[in-house]
Structure formats: C-alpha cells, structure tokens
Amino acid sequence: MILSMFQVRVKPMSMMLWLGLCSSIFSLQLHANDFHFLYNSQLTLRSDYELDVLKLALETTKSEYGDFTIITRESGYTISRIITMAQASPEVILWASPYNPINTHLNIIEYPIFNGIFGLRSIVVHNNTLKNLNNVKTLSELREYTIGQGPGWMDVAIYKHHGFNVIEARLNKLFNMTANKRFDLLPLGRIEIDDKILSTKKGGDELSIAPNHMIYYPHPVLFHLNQKHKKAINRLNDGMQEITENGSLAALFEQHFSHVTAQLKQQDMTVFQLENNTLPTKYLKRMEGTQILKLINFAGE
C-alpha cells in the first residue's frame, strides 16, 4: 500500500530480495504467539512435565504478551537435526534439553526446569544382571559395567570422563539392545522412565529398573529456540523468571515428582555421584544449591 504512493524504479533482483525480507519479517510476526513444542512420546513422564512448565510460563505472561497457542510435534530427531530445523523454520520451534555446547547458535532460556532432579538417573538393567548390580557399593565397582546412551547426548562425555565404556545408539533401539546384552546398563533420567513405560518397550519384559541404585550429576534442562524469535524469547524469559521466583514452578514439580523425592529417602538407596565436566561454571554454581542434593547420601569411590 505504501509503495503505491510513490513512483520508484527498482531492479528486479533488488525487488525480489526486498519482498523476501518483508515476507520473512511478516512470517516471524505471524508465528510469534504460536509455540511448536517438540514432545518426546518415548519419554512421556519428562515431556508431560516440560509441556506443563511451558503452559505455566506462557499463561503467567498472558496479560502482557497476549494469547498463545502450543502445537506439539514429535521430537524424533537428533540434536543436530533439531537445531537445523529450528534455524530454517519461520515458526517458533521450542524444546527442552540439557545444556550442550553445540547449541551456540540458539537462544537458551537460563532457568532450569527440573529443580536439579534431571541429573538423577535410574538404571535400566537386564534381569540376569540385576543380582550382581545389587552388590555394587562403590563407583569403582560400577565402572566394570558397560553403559548404553544416545548419540549426541551430553551424558556420553560425562560417563567417558569417569572411565566408563559407552556404547551409543538411537533411543528407540537402546532398550532392545539392553535386553540383548549389547551393554550392561542403560541410565535414564529418573523422571523419564518407570515400570509402566519400560513394559511397553521392545525387550522390556526382560528388563528391570534397579531398585536400590541410581546415578547423579548436575544436569540442568533448559528451553531452547532460535535466536530470531525475539518476542518469544522475551516472553519465555519473563515467564520462567516469574514462575521460578513465585514458587509456582516448585509446586508444579512437586505435583509431578513427589514420588521421586520420597524414593531418595530410602535407607537402602545407593547413589553414585559423577562430576559433569561438560557444564560451564555458571551452571555448576547454579546447581550447587538445589534442594535435591540435601536428600541424597552419595556412595564412595
């Protein structure tokens, strides 16, 4: 409409570039209140909570930023593929994942989602291996077992740093590989796996979750999205700050995971503590004061 008021001569190529720029800007504005959240249907305990946190953060900022829509999309991709997809899309593609240095071209919402508990790992193990694992009391003894993890997971670097032999495979294959004894242990987030979910996995009837052993390392989970979505970034920062400071995030966490904190109080629970060598100092300091650490009696070396 504005262009029709002037007589201008524009080279065809320049016009195409200008129209492309206008289209990109319009597209970003159009999608500013639509949040495409990557939901992992293989780990519903974790993803359901992440989705509830997102809803709470956006609802809290509704008076300032307006209405919003959350569209869930399956998160069946590697981290590198997700990053490429988020960079190319005009939509606000959003996901929650642990800190990872490959995310340098993304915006990270600097408020941990899981109150420090995400670094608490349950151990999925073959039923025939469980008896021997029950006798393990030190980290040195645990190192004798091989570990399975997903490609690109920061956990791989952590376990290797502590001298573990790690085998990598896609998540949808890890359970069956554990059942086939391709490796000994499959540590997953305590809030990612339970007996009900395990029973649905291929090979799950041959597997158990170790009842008396867990692993812990500081492992903050943060929301990630493309840097170009400034309005969405500001809204998420404001929302996460508000629900962190007013206690509503802690209340939501307790609503989902009170059974986990209760389990940590078991007298026969052995928790092995690992250093997270991948975390920048600012995250390590932030995780030092988490409430979860006060509940854990760590095993020795």
Q: Based on the number of CB atoms within 10 Å of its own CB, is 4 exposed (0-12), middle (13-18) or buried (19 or more)?
A: exposed
225 closest CA partner among 109, 113, 111, 110: 109
Lowest mean pLDDT across 132-146, 161-175, 277-291: 277-291
Residues 241, 135 share a domain: no
Owning domain of residue 139? 117-217+265-295
- Assessment of whether the complete model's pTM goes beyond 0.85: no
User: pLDDT, tens digit, for every residue of 232-248?
Assistant: 999 999 999 999 999 99
Q: Are residues 275 and 151 in the same domain?
A: yes
Residue 299: which residues within 8 A CB-CB, separation 6 or more?
137, 138, 139, 270, 271, 272, 273
Assess if residue 232 is contained within a domain. yes
For residues 134 and 186, membership in a common domain is answered with: yes
pLDDT tens digits for 7-21?
A: 334 444 444 444 444
Q: What is the chain's mean pLDDT, rounded?
A: 85
Could you tell me if 258 and 241 are in contact, meaning their C-beta atoms sit under 8 angstroms apart?
no
Residue with more model confidence, 95 or 8: 95
Task: Decide if 169 is inside a domain.
Answer: yes
* Domain annotation covers residue 8: no
CATH number at residue 211: 3.40.190.10
Distance between CA atoms of residues 45 and 50, nearest Å: 9
126-154 residue pLDDT tens: 999 999 999 999 999 999 999 999 998 88
Residue 167 backbone dihedrals phi, psi, to 5 degrees: -110, 130
Q: Is 78 domain-assigned?
A: yes
Q: Is residue 13 part of a domain?
A: no
> Does residue 40 sit in the same domain as residue 87?
yes
Is 218 a residue whose pLDDT tops 80? Answer: yes
